[in-house]
Amino acid sequence: MIHIAGTAGTSALLGSVIGVLCLDNALRNDVMSEVNAVWNGKKTLDLDALDQLTILNQVILETARLYPPVRFVSQLTTEAGEVEIGEQKCPFQKGTRLLGSIFTANRDANRYQNPDDFDLTRNFSDILSWNGEGHERACPGKSLSIGFIKIFCLHLFHNYQWDSITEVKWDFEKVTAVTPNNLVLQGFAQRL
Ligand code: HEM
C-alpha cells in the first residue's frame, strides 16, 4: 500500500508539475533561475538547498491543488454518526461508505479565490491533497514526496534544457492522474 501510494501519487504529481511548467514559459524560466541560483556552481548541494526552492515549492502545492493525484478519500464507518454538509446534518449508519472528493474541495470557491486559476500566492496551510494534517489518516509521505519532486526538478533543470514541447492535453475523462498525455520534450538536450 505504501509503495503504491508513494510511487503512483508522487509520479503522477511529478508528471503534472512538468506539464504545468511546459505550459507556462515565464513560470518555467522563474523555476530555472531559482534552480541555477540554488545550485550556483556547487558540485554538491547543501541539505538546505531544497528549502531554498520556494517558487518550485509553491508550484508543487498549486499543482497538487488543481490536479490532486489522489482524487478521493474513502472510509467505511465503524459506528453510526452524522456529517454536517453546509447547514444540514446527514445521519449515517454503521458500515456506510463515506467518500470525500479532494478534487472538488480543492476547487471550492468559498475557500479559494478564482479556484480554477493557477496562483502561486495562495495560502496552502490547509491544503487537502495529502489528506490534511494532524489526524490519523493524513498522508505521512507529504514532505518526502515534495522533496523527491524538488530533487528531480533540480537535476532536470540543472542538467538538461528543453527548447520546445508538443501541445499538452489534459484528459479529464479518465479518473486518473492529470498527467500530460503523449508529451514529447523536443530539443531536450543535456546542458554542457
Ligand atoms: C513518498 C511518497 C508517499 C508515501 C510514502 C505515502 C504514504 C501514504 C500512506 C502510508 C498513507 C496511509 C495513511 C493512513 O491511512 O494512515 C497515505 C495516505 C494518503 N496519501 Fe500518501 N504517500 C506518498 C505520496 C503522496 C502524494 C504525492 C499524495 C498526493 C499529493 C498523497 C496523498 C495521500 C492521501 C490523499 C492519503 C489519504 C488516503 C485515504 O485515507 O483514503 N500521498 N499516504
Query: Grid coordinates 533543470 are at which residue?
Result: 157
Instruction: Give yes or no for residue 180 having a pLDDT over 60.
Output: no
Task: Specify the pTM.
Answer: 0.88
For the cut 60, the answer to whether the pLDDT of residue 148 exceeds it is yes
Question: Which position has the higher pLDDT, 111 or 1?
Answer: 111
Ligand 1 site residues, Cβ closer than 6 angstroms: 2, 5-6, 9-10, 13, 64, 68-70, 73-74, 129-131, 136-137, 139-141, 144-145
> Which atom of ligand 1 is closest in space to residue 3's alpha carbon?
5
The predicted pLDDT at position 22 comes to 81
Interval 25-41 mean pLDDT: 91
**Average per-residue pLDDT for the chain:** 86
Q: How far apart are CA 79 and CA 91, in angstroms?
A: 11
pLDDT tens-digit map of 66-124: 989 888 888 899 999 998 888 899 999 999 999 889 999 999 999 999 999 999 999 99
Unique residue bearing C-alpha cell 530533487? 151
Q: What is the DSSP string of 101-156?
A: EHHHHHT-TTTSSSTTS--TTS--TT-TTTT-SSSTTS-TTHHHHHHHHHHHHHHH
Which domains are seen in the chain, by residue range?
Answer: 2-190 (1.10.630.10)
Q: 87 alpha carbon to ligand 1 midpoint, in Å?
A: 30
Distance 5 CA to ligand 1 centre (A): 5
**Residue-level pLDDT at 92:** 95
| 147: exposed, middle or buried (Cβ count in 10 Å: 0-12, 13-18, 19+) | middle
